[in-house]
Copies of this chain bind each other. A is one copy, B any other.
Amino acid sequence: MKEKARTARADLDAVLAAGFVCHLGVVVDGTPRVVPTVYGATADTLYFHGSVATPSLVRAPHAEVCVTVTHVDGVVVARSLFEHSVNYRSAMVYGTPRPVTDEDEKLAGLRVVTEQAAPGQWEYARRPNRKELAATSLLALGLDEASVKVRTGPPDDADSLDAALGLWAGVLPLTTVRGAPVPDPALPDSIAPPAHLLRF
């Protein structure tokens, strides 16, 4: 089995650091709701962005949530369809999130979320004013309760009877790539993208 639960803290950190969109699971009237939202992680806390327009996020502070971050690395093509699989890295974080109300912590948390999606923007763009800060919902979830699963490598049926079938087997890799920045059409030509966005 090349699919493994990982228990090292570094594995959790690596999966969380590799993305900025999570799937937030909440229970609304007894039924599950899964919504994508942006997040950022520090050493001990996962901050995620809410919106007062999303009822599930308004309810989230009062109940347990499950935040899942998944990176799909490839399709595992085996000799048999039964052994077909996916190479992936996934982290689930459980707990009851805490709404961030303190202004300083909110700014610090938003900085973490922003920097994870677009490093350098916190120093470059206009920071939230008081009104915007009040209109922004930010939740904090401890990283104490988490699980990580990772699958890597080739299919599992190389030493099975199916190897004699003479079929190709391996991995079809998938990668997320970042393209060149696309300027807002409303932007004057004189404004070039800053260096930190070209490195992105």
Interfacial residues, chain A to chain B (CB-CB below 8 A)? 20-21, 23-27, 30-36, 38, 63-68, 70, 72, 74-75, 77-82, 84, 86, 88, 90, 92, 94, 110, 114, 117-118, 121-122, 124-128, 132, 135-136, 154-155, 158-159, 162-163, 165-187, 191-194, 197, 200
Contact = CB atoms under 8 A, between A and B. Distances in A.
B127 A81 contact: yes
21 contacts: A23-B25, A25-B32, A26-B32, A32-B32, A32-B64, A32-B66, A35-B68, A74-B179, A75-B118, A82-B132, A82-B135, A84-B117, A124-B167, A159-B186, A166-B191, A169-B184, A170-B183, A172-B178, A172-B179, A172-B181, A172-B182
B168 A197 contact: yes
A177 B74 CA distance: 10
A15 to B, nearest CB: 12
Contacts of A36: 68, 70, 72, 88, 90
A16 B18 CA distance: 24
A117 B77 CA distance: 10
Nearest to A175: B177
Contacts of A35: 68, 90, 92
B191 A167 contact: yes
